[in-house]
Amino acid sequence: MANSPIKSPLPESDKEVTGNILQATLVDLVDLSLIAKQAHWNVVGSNFRSAHLQLDELVTTARNYVDEVAERANAIGVSPNGKAKTVVESSGLPEYPDNWQSVESTIAAIVDILAEEIARLRKRIDETDKSDLVTQDLLIEITRALEEAHWMWQAQQA
Amino acid sequence: MANSPIKSPLPESDKEVTGNILQATLVDLVDLSLIAKQAHWNVVGSNFRSAHLQLDELVTTARNYVDEVAERANAIGVSPNGKAKTVVESSGLPEYPDNWQSVESTIAAIVDILAEEIARLRKRIDETDKSDLVTQDLLIEITRALEEAHWMWQAQQA
Amino acid sequence: MANSPIKSPLPESDKEVTGNILQATLVDLVDLSLIAKQAHWNVVGSNFRSAHLQLDELVTTARNYVDEVAERANAIGVSPNGKAKTVVESSGLPEYPDNWQSVESTIAAIVDILAEEIARLRKRIDETDKSDLVTQDLLIEITRALEEAHWMWQAQQA
Amino acid sequence: MANSPIKSPLPESDKEVTGNILQATLVDLVDLSLIAKQAHWNVVGSNFRSAHLQLDELVTTARNYVDEVAERANAIGVSPNGKAKTVVESSGLPEYPDNWQSVESTIAAIVDILAEEIARLRKRIDETDKSDLVTQDLLIEITRALEEAHWMWQAQQA
Amino acid sequence: MANSPIKSPLPESDKEVTGNILQATLVDLVDLSLIAKQAHWNVVGSNFRSAHLQLDELVTTARNYVDEVAERANAIGVSPNGKAKTVVESSGLPEYPDNWQSVESTIAAIVDILAEEIARLRKRIDETDKSDLVTQDLLIEITRALEEAHWMWQAQQA
Amino acid sequence: MANSPIKSPLPESDKEVTGNILQATLVDLVDLSLIAKQAHWNVVGSNFRSAHLQLDELVTTARNYVDEVAERANAIGVSPNGKAKTVVESSGLPEYPDNWQSVESTIAAIVDILAEEIARLRKRIDETDKSDLVTQDLLIEITRALEEAHWMWQAQQA
Amino acid sequence: MANSPIKSPLPESDKEVTGNILQATLVDLVDLSLIAKQAHWNVVGSNFRSAHLQLDELVTTARNYVDEVAERANAIGVSPNGKAKTVVESSGLPEYPDNWQSVESTIAAIVDILAEEIARLRKRIDETDKSDLVTQDLLIEITRALEEAHWMWQAQQA
Amino acid sequence: MANSPIKSPLPESDKEVTGNILQATLVDLVDLSLIAKQAHWNVVGSNFRSAHLQLDELVTTARNYVDEVAERANAIGVSPNGKAKTVVESSGLPEYPDNWQSVESTIAAIVDILAEEIARLRKRIDETDKSDLVTQDLLIEITRALEEAHWMWQAQQA
Amino acid sequence: MANSPIKSPLPESDKEVTGNILQATLVDLVDLSLIAKQAHWNVVGSNFRSAHLQLDELVTTARNYVDEVAERANAIGVSPNGKAKTVVESSGLPEYPDNWQSVESTIAAIVDILAEEIARLRKRIDETDKSDLVTQDLLIEITRALEEAHWMWQAQQA
Amino acid sequence: MANSPIKSPLPESDKEVTGNILQATLVDLVDLSLIAKQAHWNVVGSNFRSAHLQLDELVTTARNYVDEVAERANAIGVSPNGKAKTVVESSGLPEYPDNWQSVESTIAAIVDILAEEIARLRKRIDETDKSDLVTQDLLIEITRALEEAHWMWQAQQA
Amino acid sequence: MANSPIKSPLPESDKEVTGNILQATLVDLVDLSLIAKQAHWNVVGSNFRSAHLQLDELVTTARNYVDEVAERANAIGVSPNGKAKTVVESSGLPEYPDNWQSVESTIAAIVDILAEEIARLRKRIDETDKSDLVTQDLLIEITRALEEAHWMWQAQQA
Amino acid sequence: MANSPIKSPLPESDKEVTGNILQATLVDLVDLSLIAKQAHWNVVGSNFRSAHLQLDELVTTARNYVDEVAERANAIGVSPNGKAKTVVESSGLPEYPDNWQSVESTIAAIVDILAEEIARLRKRIDETDKSDLVTQDLLIEITRALEEAHWMWQAQQA
């Protein structure tokens, strides 16, 4: 399928800038959803149940925005790519360790991962200010959700 | 965490056999869930809507069994690993193409992927007959669901 | 449509054995659903309401498994046939009388019909042990449901 | 049970006319529900999923009116008969073919069957104008539902 | 309030005929709802629970149509009157006995009361054929519901 | 049925006192439910819709407590009587006028009726303090609900 | 599309009469739904909230019947037309004023519009008595709903 | 855990009296829930279904109050004990027979058991009048529920 | 009603600019809702059911935003106008053809209409950047929804 | 509004006593709802999530009783006052600290606050025994709920 | 807890500006929720019920945004303070009068309070344009909701 | 009731083996449900809430399977016995201590009890392989559920 079957509402250069941002965000969020599931299964320790449940909420948050971002890419005429291989090659998130993890190290890892993703999203909010306000609005919404999650995970470290 | 924090209800050798089967199934199903989402976003053509919706049902099926399988691994004292990198390294499923795909080639790819996974699951059902009937029961349940899906995707090729 | 549009996950001989069993079960269960509805409408007597409601639950049970069985036949590449004529020609259930029936004779007839169907299902469970464990699992599930119903109908005869 | 246990609100001759009409309608609708299920399982082709789902809606419509008609027969003191054998002996609907069917021939068959049933119902609406307005009202309601379905199936042939 | 605040869509004579019919039906149905509640509380005997529940369904049926009838009276510009005193003065239903009643005599009384109300409604259906088809349609609907209930109560006497 | 089929948990004299109180309350509340429905249908004026809806909430409140009170009477071995005739003969509530009523006079009538019923209930709370604390608790609950309604109807007169 | 793709269950002349009636009703009801929304947004005055909510219920009623009528037209082989231009050209309803309106004039306008539509519907009920009883039944149902609404709006003028 | 970790809102002697009453009630109600389940499974006879369902409602009632009572004990600083051994050693309820029981003897046994428990509860209501009004209120609520059930079970014996 | 009864939170000139934009958007969206319904009823062809359902989702989207936009106009003190006549006079959308339409031409028309509306909305997003950020946020939200729909309709043309 | 628009069902002195008690309880409970929200937002530490969720349940409990108490005040003819200033001036609860708090000190503070409020409520239960049994019943209900909460918060300190 | 346990995604100065804005908004909205409840309980007059219900919707709106704002403060590393004392000391809303209020003065007070809060929010939207776009987006959302409420309250004054 | 009123679908010896297994499982699971409730009420310590909630999920699991097992016994013609006395005499589970327990010792006790029950169930799965595949399937399902619970309780000990 050489030519895009979806016409973009954006001029070519805005489409390219915005499309790259959406694709990068998609990959990060797929990775986040897999990491949160991995942590959900492998957390152990006296606060197991709380962390186990909270991680599943994070999975849900990540999965919902994965869909929004992929559909937004389509809406501006860019094919989204969220396959495992693409995630491994281009995700910007720190790696998550193998094997069971204590609640404490689970929390620490999730806090770091969220902090990294929030920083990346805030840069993208700035970049879309020129290229596409509609995409910017979606990025702001995702950032609000992840910053709220970030607080809730940090609150357990105090 | 050198020693497993979870005691297995199975003797060591059964645990090893069963654990390997569950880990392999987990990786396949995570891959299936990512592939079905990729197809869900990238399908185009006159039957777009039907295929788009049916792919999301496949995502749901895959995700539900991903959880069952990972939790079953934990239940027999084996740490499940469903990270992107692990999926890329060990999934047994054929690769799914990049970019938008026509409805026809989407259907063809999904039919092949399901056929491959069903064959792999049927072998594992035999292998667990000796090692763990409880895990076997779960594999039978997953096979029933995927064989039903397999029929529904094939039915569109007739 | 000379050739099956659905490829079977089973080798040919297992497919034939299993397909025959599923088709026979399908016909019995369609018949059971029609008989239970007939009884639901035609029962009279002082316990009318209880029997009337309980018969509708039996209809629901039968209808749900009719669908599961027909879809399982498709899943192994066999076209299911649940038409009225096929039911008349091949159902293994005793005939149900015409006209209004007392609660007592309704119960007696339903108990006999369930006993007959359970005996037939138990034979099929044995036969599928070799041909297809996935189908066997479905037959076990149906048998559990009908044996529970069988108790509840017998309990009224004590 | 020689005498009817249910007193009719209708005079004898109106009861006979109306009872025959309700029994004939019951048989047709049971047949319709079995045919639609048969088609639901055996349809194949590129529009499989749409047809598969739409056929199940037709099953639901048919089943709901089967119940209404049988209960209306009881309400006027006539025992309803919806057994498989009765359906085979007295249904007025065209036979449905065995085996998998393409979407196109499935649609064509359903359109013909609905057209036939609608014609039969319209005659019965006229006949009940004298014998029982309450039954007529039910027949009008069924006709409205089947004529709506008839349009939706025809719309796919255009 | 000397003049009606609601303009009738009917000419004066049709309004009068139809209004009288609706008022008479309203009173009967309020009475039916009170009788069914009285029976609901006072039934005793080995089938107590079934009768107790079925009577509450009759209460619900009666109450729903009470509302429909009263609102229909308003719709044609006639003030509905469903007060206790009006019910005592003008209900056409047989009186229900005081005190606890056996299941058998409860059933017998309800069957008689429903038969009486059905006969009255069928006369009113004829009378509204000339005066107001919209009201006739409502009376047909009520008759259908009460004749179904009538069957279900009679079925327990067989 | 000469002897009560229900044994009372209360000694004879407490049963008599409490039974009379429950029967009197039952009659008042049935009357209240019919009056509120009458008002619901016949209210007119610029605040019609608010009053119409609020009256139906009063109907629901009255009907719920009608059931509680009748079942409480049964629970202490007293047959409840809520028939129209009994209501006309023994209700303690002021009569409600025939015909459409303005919102203002509707409100005024409802406020008076509620005030009367509350006064009667408060007397009965005192009387049951000696005869049955369980019944007293029910009367307190009804009084709380009616006093809340009383405020809401008065609030519209300010 | 020169020829109708939908075969009519009616003979040609009945189809024409009935089709014209359905098309005229469709246009009126689309107009009613737009007028009620317009009024919903533009009503002001001390009873604003009640009127605002009640108008939205009228929108819902109108929209539901718009769909029923359009689908009924299709069912008899007539293409329905509910576009804005068609509504402006052929609606039979009085025009609704621009700008904010007081509650009183809103009520007055709605009462007039409903009265007009009811008169038109009652004529059409008569006309379909010969051409199509199924359509007549739908028109009776719509009339019942609008006459009930008509009462509720008038009740506020008293 | 030598000292109570929960401070009581009651003075020591009131706490002791009330605590004993709550513990005794807890044991009775756990026993009631097990007896009702036992009866639910073992009832046979022509009214099987009604009794089977009604017994499950009694299980639900008993279980709900078991929780309320145990949590109330905690609330006043007393550790609740509902283990099987404690129930066997201190329940005040009559023993329920082993094996299947006819509907009649099931009803008789349940009526006796409820009568016994109601008598015990009424004594406890008196005793808590001095020690804790909050606990008394809970006991009154339980008594109301069990007396209602008592009526419903007796009603079947008439 | 010469003067606006609603005070604007915006200075006069911003109110005028924003009000004009909201009124224009309102008209377009009312038109879109009527066009989508027209298409929903008149689409025919082998993909009828998919298109029929998808068009109703578009109706729902359009209707929801119609309400949001009209209420936003009120919120800034501008009377919204969504009457049929206003729509015909000022909608910016291309006209939709009369009569039944094939699925293909239906899709083509909807794609064009959405593209046109998206272009108009994007211009308005720019214009409100100065006049009212709150309204701009609403326009961004509508654009996101319509661009997603635009993709889904285009995807069927590939 | 010099005179109370709501007539009290209580004599003047009972009304005054009861009114003061309700007003004092209202203020305490509004304060409790604000404190619990404050704690909900500001708790930090390893059990953050459990405490965060449990505090929101306490907010819900407090808010529900705030409404019951305020409406009860109205019901006896006393205007309730729950404004921030009134709360600051007359709440009887200990002050809650500013800023983030550890889970431990959060629990300690909540336990103290609940203990204080329970003591105050128990005094009021005694005082209303003479003035108003209906209000007493509400206070008993609130006390039961808060004593249960008190146990659950203390249980975390063991 | 001297140091903030929550790291801010914002640079220090943006955090301070944004934090002050969020704290000020929090206090205003807590106050609004208490005022709206106060008004909900104390409104009297002929439109009591409408105002009473509409005020509770305002409470819900205010409470929901209270939570969003407090959690947003946490998300940027600022401890939120919504205690009664803080509200009294720093809320920017006009005071609400004590005692029962007529519907008219209730509406007038609410309109003024909303107008004041909207003005304050619009200033804060401007201030956050530089400090934090994510917080700005939340403020825009709150403003949209309050401006819609503002219209609905004003509409009743016309 | 000397003879079983329920005919077994199993030959006598299979029935005896299977019946003993089901009865033993029933007793264990009733005991588990009582122990889990006991623990639910008596757990104390800083993780109280998590353990308290998780124990109630275990109660629900145990209760559901108690019902399945008892009904399965009936289905094979064996009377189930789940009375307190039977539980005390024949349960195979370790005893649970009296009085409040710390979270740690609660977890330890539950882990041991689950381990014991799992071992017993795994032996029974083997034994039913010859006597009844339907019962075996139920035991496998229970084992899967308890092994999952076992992991979740162990995970807290890591």
- Average pLDDT value for residue range B85-106: 98
pTM higher than the cut 0.95: yes
Taking alpha carbons only, the member of K48, K38, K34, K32 closest to residue K111 is K32
Q: What is the pLDDT of residue K1?
A: 52
Identify the chains in contact with B, defined as 3+ C-beta pairs within 8 A: A, C, D, I, L
pLDDT at position E4 is 84
Closest CA of chain J from F102, distance in Å: 21
pLDDT in the model for residue E135? 98
Q: Does E86 touch chain D (CB under 8 A)?
A: no
The angle subtended at Cα F47 by Cα F45 and Cα F49, nearest 5°, is 105
Quote the tokens at residue F46: 């610029």
Helix intervals (H) in chain I: 12-42, 48-75, 84-90, 103-131, 133-154
Q: Which CATH class, in words, describes the domain spanning A12-155?
A: mainly alpha
Q: Rounded mean pLDDT of H21-39?
A: 98
pLDDT at residue number A1: 52
- Of the candidates F151, F146, F13, the residue with the CA atom closest to the CA atom of residue F69: F146
pLDDT band at J4 (very low <50, low <70, confident <90, very high): confident
Task: Sort strands K43-44 and F101-102 into parallel, antiparallel or unpaired.
Answer: unpaired
User: Token digits for K94?
Assistant: 């006009």
Q: Based on the number of CB atoms within 10 Å of its own CB, is E42 exposed (0-12), middle (13-18) or buried (19 or more)?
A: buried
- The residue of chain I nearest to residue G33, with distances taken between CA atoms, is I83
CB pairs under 8 A between B and I: 28
Chain G contact set for F52 (CB, 8 A): 152, 155
K158: pLDDT strictly greater than 60:
yes
State mean pLDDT over D77-102.
Answer: 98
State yes or no: ipTM above 0.90.
Answer: yes
Provide the percentage of residues in chain B whose pLDDT is more than 70. Answer: 98
Q: Measured over all CA atoms, what is the biggest interatomic distance in chain D, rounded to whole angstroms? A: 55
What is the mean pLDDT of the segment spanning J22-38?
98
Beta strands E101-102 and E43-44, pairing class: parallel
- Those residues with Cβ within 8 angstroms of residue G30's Cβ, 6 or more apart along the chain or in another chain: G62, G66, G82, G87, G91, I34, I84
Task: Assess whether pLDDT exceeds 90 at residue D2.
Answer: no
DSSP per position, A47-81: THHHHHHHHHHHHHHHHHHHHHHHHHHHHTT----
D21 residue type, one letter: I
Rounded Cα distance, H123 and H113, in Å: 16
Q: What is the reported pLDDT for H4? A: 84
Q: How far apart are CA B46 and CA I14, in angstroms?
A: 45
For chain D, give the DSSP string: --S-SS--SS-HHHHHHHHHHHHHHHHHHHHHHHHHHHHHHHEESTTHHHHHHHHHHHHHHHHHHHHHHHHHHHHTT------HHHHHHH--SPPPPSS-EEHHHHHHHHHHHHHHHHHHHHHHHHHHHHH-HHHHHHHHHHHHHHHHHHHHHHTTT-
Contact I158 B45 (CB under 8 A): yes
Reduced 3-state DSSP string for K133-156: HHHHHHHHHHHHHHHHHHHHHHHH
Q: Note the pLDDT of residue H30.
A: 98
Given an 8 Å threshold on Cβ–Cβ distance, is B84 in contact with A41? no
- L15 in contact with chain C, both atoms CB, cutoff 8 A: no
**Helix axis angle, H133-154 relative to F133-154, nearest 10°?**
100
Q: Do G50 and F49 touch (CB under 8 A)?
A: yes
Do chains D and H touch by CB distance (3+ pairs < 8 Å)?
no
B158–chain D nearest CA distance, Å: 5
Buried b (16+ CB within 10 A) or exposed e, E131-154: bbbbbbbbbbebbbbbbebbbbbb
**Chain F: nearest CA to H51, how far in angstroms?**
18
The bridge status of strand A101-102 relative to strand A43-44 is: parallel
Asked if E75 and G148 come within 8 Å (Cβ–Cβ), the reply is yes
**C119: contact with L, CB 8 A cutoff:** yes
Phi, psi of C36 (to 5 degrees): -65, -35
φ, ψ for residue A95 (rounded to 5)? -75, 150
Task: Report in angstroms the alpha-carbon separations of I42 from D47, G71, I36, I52, I100.
Answer: 20, 10, 10, 9, 4
Kindly list the distances between the CA atom of residue L158 and the CA atoms of A103, A156, L75, in Å, as whole numbers in the listed order.
9, 18, 42
- Judge: G158–F45 Cβ closer than 8 Å, yes or no: yes
Residue of J nearest to A108 (CA): J46
CA distance C27 to C128: 18
Q: Is the pLDDT of residue H1 over 80?
A: no
- Give pLDDT tens digits for K89-141: 999 999 999 999 999 999 999 999 999 999 999 999 999 999 999 999 999 99
How many CA atoms lie within 13 Å of I121's alpha carbon, on the beta-carbon side?
31
Amino acid at H105: S
Tokens 């049935």 correspond to F30
Give dist(CA D50, CA I51) in Å, integer.
11
pLDDT > 90? residue E7: yes
Check whether G67 has a pLDDT greater than 90. yes
List, for residues E51-66, the tens digit of each pLDDT value: 999 999 999 999 999 9
- Predicted local distance difference test score (pLDDT) of residue E1: 52
Helix (H) or strand (E) run with residue F43 in it: strand F43-44
Segment L137-158 shows an average pLDDT of 97
Determine the pLDDT at residue L1.
Answer: 52
Exposure string of H80-115, with b = 16+ CB inside 10 Å and e = fewer, is bbbbbbbbbeebebeebeeebbbbeebbebbbebbb
CA distance A156 to A55: 13
Q: For residue A135, what are the CA distances in angstroms to A16, A19, A132, E81, I133?
A: 13, 10, 6, 62, 16
Q: What are the DSSP calls for I109-153, one per residue? A: HHHHHHHHHHHHHHHHHHHHHHH-HHHHHHHHHHHHHHHHHHHHH
User: Bridge partners of I102?
Assistant: I44
In this predicted structure, what is the pLDDT of residue C4?
84
The mean pLDDT value of chain E amounts to: 97
User: What single string gives the DSSP state of each residue in G96-152?
Assistant: PPSS-EEHHHHHHHHHHHHHHHHHHHHHHHHHHHHH-HHHHHHHHHHHHHHHHHHHH
According to DSSP, the residues that pair with G101 across neighbouring strands are: G43
pLDDT mean across residues, chain K: 97
Please name the residue that has the structure tokens 């995702």: A142
The residue extents of the domains of chain K are 12-155
Report long-range pairs for E56-61 (Cβ below 8 Å, ≥24 apart). E58/E32, E58/E110, E58/E149, E59/E33, E61/E145, E61/E146, E61/E149
Contact I5 K155 (CB under 8 A): yes
Which residues in H lie closer than 8 A to residue F137 (C-beta atoms)? 137, 140-141, 144
How many Å apart are CA L114 and CA F83, to the nearest integer? 58
Residue I8 sits at the chain K interface (C-beta within 8 Å): no
Residue C2 has pLDDT above 70, yes or no: no
Q: Taking CB atoms and an 8 Å cut-off, how many pairs form between chains D and I?
A: 28
Does the pLDDT value for residue D123 go beyond 70? Answer: yes
CA distance B77 to B19: 8
pLDDT band per the 50, 70, 90 thresholds, residue L4: confident
Q: What angle do CA J74, J80, J84 make, to 5 degrees?
A: 155
E91-132 confidence digits (pLDDT tens): 999 999 999 999 999 999 999 999 999 999 999 999 999 999
Q: Smallest CA–CA separation between H5 and chain C, in Å?
A: 47
Contact K99, K43 (CB under 8 A): no
According to the model, what pLDDT value does residue K4 have?
84
Query: Are the beta carbons of F154 and J7 closer than 8 angstroms?
Result: yes
pLDDT per position as a tens digit, F42-51: 999 999 999 9
Q: Which residues contact F11 (CB under 8 A, 6 or more apart)?
A: none
Residues C158, L5: C-beta atoms closer than 8 Å: yes
Nearest Cα to A135, choosing from A27, A6, A8, A30? Answer: A8
Q: What is the pLDDT of residue F4?
A: 84
CB contact under 8 A, L50 and A50: yes
Specify the DSSP class assigned to residue J156.
T
Task: Give the mean pLDDT of C65-92.
Answer: 98
Q: What confidence score (pLDDT) does residue I47 get?
A: 96
Virtual torsion, Cα G37, G42, G43, G45, nearest 10 deg: 160
In chain L, what residues touch H67 (CB-CB under 8 Å)? 37
Q: What pLDDT sits at residue I27?
A: 98
F135 and F69 Cβ atoms separated by less than 8 Å: no
Answer whether I touches B (≥3 Cβ pairs < 8 Å).
yes
> What is the rounded distance in angstroms from the CA atom of residue B12 to the CA atom of residue B78?
11
Question: Is K100 in Cβ contact with F158 (below 8 Å)?
Answer: yes
3-state class (DSSP) for residue G158 = coil
Amino acid residing at I66? V
Query: How confident is the model at residue G19, as a pLDDT?
Result: 98
Hey, what are K154's tokens?
């004003």
- What token pair was written down for C143? 């048998």
Q: What is the DSSP letter of I100?
A: -
Residues of E in contact with F4 (CB under 8 A): 100
